[in-house]
Chain A
C-alpha cells in the first residue's frame, strides 16, 4: 500500500517570502503521479501542481514549483513571492494510474498561513 507523509502540520510565513512544504511517500511502484492540492476555507479542493514520476524535470506553475527526488521519495512544494490568497490547507497526494481509475492517497496536510 502507498502512504503519504506530511511532517509539518502548520507553517506560517510573511507575505512575499518563499516557503517550502515537505512531503514524502512510500511505494514500490516505479510509475506514479504526485500532486499538491490546496484547500482554502471555502473547502474547494484546487489542484496546484502535478508531477509524473517518469519525468526528471521538476514541474512548475507560475509561483509554484516542486522539488521531486524520486530516489528519496520526496516531493516538496515551493511557493515563491507568497500572497495572502495562498493561505490554505495544502495536501500532498499520490496515485498510480494515469487512466482515471485509481484513487488518490492523501497526506495529512499542512496548514499554511501567510502573514500580512
Chain B
C-alpha cells in the first residue's frame, strides 16, 4: 500500500492570492494525479504529473492557473493561482501502486 500526506490539510485564502499544496508519498511512483472535488460534487482530474516532464492537463485546466511541480518520484506540488471563490474545493493527490489508486487526505480550500 501507499501512504500519502498532503499539506496543508485546509486553508482559507483571500481572492487574488495563490496557494501551493504539497503531496508526499512513501513510495516511488511514476505518475501522480491531482484531482479537484468541488462542494457536493465528484472528483475531476486536473492533471497528471510525470517525474521529469511537463504535467499533462485535462480539458478546462491550464498550467497558468494550476502549475504543477514534480521534482522527484515521491513528491509533487499543485499551485492554485490568482484564486477566486470558484476555486473553493477539496484538492486531492493520488498515485497508482500495484494496480490500486491511493488518495491523499485532501486539502480543503476556501477562497473568500
Contact = CB atoms under 8 A, between A and B. Distances in A.
Interface in B54-98: 58, 90, 92, 94-97
B53 interface: no
B104 to A, nearest CB: 8
Contacts, number: 53
A100 B108 contact: no
Contacts of A91: 42-43
A100 B99 contact: yes
Q: How many interface residues does chain B have, given as a range? A: 20 to 34
A84 interface: no
A62 interface: no
Contacts of B96: 100-102
Nearest to B29: A100
Nearest to B41: A108
A44 interface: yes
B111 interface: no
A32 B84 CA distance: 37
Nearest to A46: B103
A35 B96 CA distance: 13
27 contacts: A33-B99, A42-B105, A43-B90, A43-B105, A44-B106, A45-B103, A47-B100, A47-B101, A47-B102, A50-B100, A91-B43, A95-B101, A98-B99, A100-B31, A100-B99, A101-B30, A101-B31, A101-B96, A103-B58, A104-B33, A104-B94, A106-B43, A106-B44, A107-B42, A108-B41, A108-B42, A109-B41
The list of the 5 closest CB pairs from A to B, nearest first, reads: A100-B96, A45-B103, A106-B42, A103-B45, A106-B43
Interface of A: 33, 35, 42-45, 47, 50, 91, 95, 98, 100-109
